[in-house]
Amino acid sequence: MLKHKGLSNDFWGEAVSCAAYLLNRSYTKSVPNITPQEAWSGFKPSVNHLRVFGSLAFVHIPDQKRSKLEDKSARCIFIGYSEQSKAYKLFNPQTQKVIISRDVKIDEERRWTEETHDEATTTPLRDNEESIEESELQEDNNSEASNIDNNNEPVASSSSTTQPSQRRTRTLQDLYDNTQRLDPIDYADFCLYAGADPIDFEEACKEKKWQDAMDCEIQSILKNDTWELVDAPQNQKTIGVKWIYKTKLNEKGQVDKYKARLVVKGYKQKYGIDYQEVFAPVIRLETIRLILSIAAQHNWHVHQMDVKSAFLNGHLQEDVYIEQPMGYIQKGQENKVCKLKRALYGLKQAPRAWYSRIDEYFQRKGFKKCTHEHTLFIKKLENHILIVCLYVDDLVISCSSIVSIQAFKEDMKKEFEMTDLGVLHYFLRIEVKQGRNMISISQQKYAKDLLIRFDMFNAATSTTPMEHGLKLTKSEIEDDL
């Protein structure tokens, strides 16, 4: 891919990412008559937007970012597909920036050289130059483009008085001779971050830690009497299931546990047949900060609990049938299916069923639900107030009496299978430190994770990250590329 378009090895990472994107949309021997992407998502992927890696590309410049006399497009190199949106990923050799945009014209028969850039700046516009014709580009109000600074050394800007450019051909290798390369330790960190969790059942079975995680999940499901094996119904479709794997980290970025979750392919459910209501509220971060502020002011205790496999506690009102989970199909009953008695992760109505169950429990125990925050529960005791904040299966508990908190925990353990996390220290990516009349919150780990994710951990810092006086305009986004 790199040699075909004359690109240097500095683009190997983008080439690998693009190759993986293409392979996931290509047929393989291991999964006949279906692509890996379709096997994973259940939908046949589109290939109409695929382009040749390294091709010359023309990205549209919105009216707000150029004058009437400036070019309507910039010449870039196509280096892949965005992971966050339906857009192309391009590299501008002149600005040393990566651009994510939908408004792109790609010439797959050409590649970028210094000569092509000179043509763009010195040659008058031709009538047949389709790459920068406005008719070939989307309207300005439908554009979506963003620039991401690289850690490479900056390119010197041109002066206002320019000399006629010397016509020569120069490849990208010349532009990248002084590119800063990652240290070996940085490569190791990147590999650990990218390949931590298995993507399918076959890969997970190769490691005992993931086998143990799946065994734990099945034990929890059977303990809650979640389903029963029955003959497949003739008048209702059976819904598939799949395994999801996630390495849980603590506030220090260390491995806390390995979690395997059996989820239902809820996107195949039909409204009115497989489910009805789906909405379930969660606590707002503003409310969490308010409770922490009150607790710090009055020197209250703040603890945390977690409900194990919370959705398995929700009762279903509909008849839902699912396939037996891969790796745990009962011998002699291979043709039977599971009729759900309780909700399972992935079901559209699972959050609603769980919230209805926990809401009923709190009301039965004498808690009052806040009128404007349905996941904030308050109980008045003799000399204390017990406050519980609910975010799906995580509970934040605050009270001036540690005895009352412990009593509440014991009651919860009698009703649900709980994990007592003790004093609140990490919640929704927020690190919490508690002291006498003091509670501090921060997101240092989350900030570091973002920097690592976008390869900016060693980037130069700035007190003002945004250009001074920059005027931003709202951009409309189209559905397709």
CB 55 within 8 A of CB 78: yes
CB 453 within 8 A of CB 148: no
Q: Is the dihedral of CA 304, 308, 312, 315 positive or negative?
A: negative
pLDDT tens digit sequence for 255-305? 888 999 998 888 766 666 556 667 789 999 999 999 999 999 999 999 999
- pTM here is 0.50
The three-state secondary structure class of 475 is coil
What DSSP line would sit under 195-233, residue for residue?
A: SSS-SSHHHHTTSHHHHHHHHHHHHHHHHTT-EEEEPPP
317 versus 431: the higher-pLDDT residue is 431
Tell which residue, 221, 213, 205, 89, has the closest CA to residue 147. Answer: 89
Q: Say whether both 128 and 220 belong to one domain.
A: no
Largest distance between two CA atoms of the chain: 87
Confidence of residue 458 (pLDDT cuts 50, 70, 90): confident
The DSSP 8-state label assigned to residue 170 in this structure reads -
69 inside domain: yes
Element (H, E) at 395: strand 394-399
Long-range CB pairs of 185-191 (<8 Å, 24+ gap) are: 186/457, 186/458, 189/452, 190/452, 190/455
Q: What is the reported pLDDT for 153?
A: 36
Q: Say whether both 169 and 209 belong to one domain.
A: no
77 versus 6: the higher-pLDDT residue is 77
Q: What is the reported pLDDT for 199?
A: 84
Strands 145-149 and 241-249: unpaired
Q: Say whether both 98 and 54 belong to one domain.
A: yes
The position carrying tokens 């910039």 is: 74
Helix axes 444-453, 184-194, angle to 10 degrees: 100
Q: What is the reported pLDDT for 468?
A: 72
- For residue 404, pLDDT over 50 is answered with yes
Q: What is the reported pLDDT for 377?
A: 97
Q: Please, which residues have CB within 8 angstroms of residue 45's CB and are 6 or more apart in sequence?
A: 24, 25, 35, 37, 38
Burial group, residue 379, by CB count within 10 angstroms (0-12, 13-18, 19+): middle
Question: Which domain, by its residues, includes 104?
Answer: 9-181
d(CA 98, CA 75): 12
Span 185-204, mean pLDDT?
62
Fill in the amino acid letter for 277: E
The three-state secondary structure class of 355 is helix
58 versus 155: the higher-pLDDT residue is 58
Q: Say whether both 271 and 345 belong to one domain.
A: yes
Fill in the amino acid letter for 400: S
Confidence of residue 338 (pLDDT cuts 50, 70, 90): very high
Element (H, E) at 184: helix 184-194
CB 148 within 8 A of CB 98: yes
d(CA 396, CA 291): 9
Q: Say whether both 142 and 228 belong to one domain.
A: no
Q: Please, which residues have CB within 8 angstroms of residue 124's CB and are 6 or more apart in sequence?
A: none
Q: Say whether both 226 and 125 belong to one domain.
A: no
Percent of the chain with pLDDT over 70: 79
Domain count, the chain: 2
Give the domain-ending residue among 132, 157, 181.
Answer: 181
Span 142-155, mean pLDDT?
40
Rg (CA), the chain: 28
- For residue 61, pLDDT over 80 is answered with yes
Indicate left, alpha or beta for 432 from its phi (over 0: left) and psi (-120 to 50: alpha).
Answer: beta
462 inside domain: no
- For residue 142, pLDDT over 50 is answered with no
54 inside domain: yes
CB 397 within 8 A of CB 387: yes
pLDDT tens digit sequence for 113-124? 755 554 544 333
Tell which residue, 241, 214, 263, has the closest CA to residue 322. Answer: 241
Tokens of 479: 């559905």
Q: What is the reported pLDDT for 68?
A: 80
The three-state secondary structure class of 446 is helix
Out of 63-67, 257-261, 341-345, pick the least confident. Answer: 63-67
- For residue 369, pLDDT over 60 is answered with yes
Q: What is the mean pLDDT of the chain?
A: 79
Q: Say whether both 341 and 265 belong to one domain.
A: yes
- For residue 29, pLDDT over 90 is answered with no
469 versus 101: the higher-pLDDT residue is 101
- For residue 185, pLDDT over 80 is answered with no
The position carrying tokens 């996107």 is: 267
Confidence of residue 216 (pLDDT cuts 50, 70, 90): very high
203 inside domain: yes
Span 129-151, mean pLDDT?
38
Tell which residue, 47, 228, 61, has the closest CA to residue 143. Answer: 61
Q: Say whether both 82 and 207 belong to one domain.
A: no
36 inside domain: yes
312 inside domain: yes
Q: Say whether both 120 and 61 belong to one domain.
A: yes
475 inside domain: no
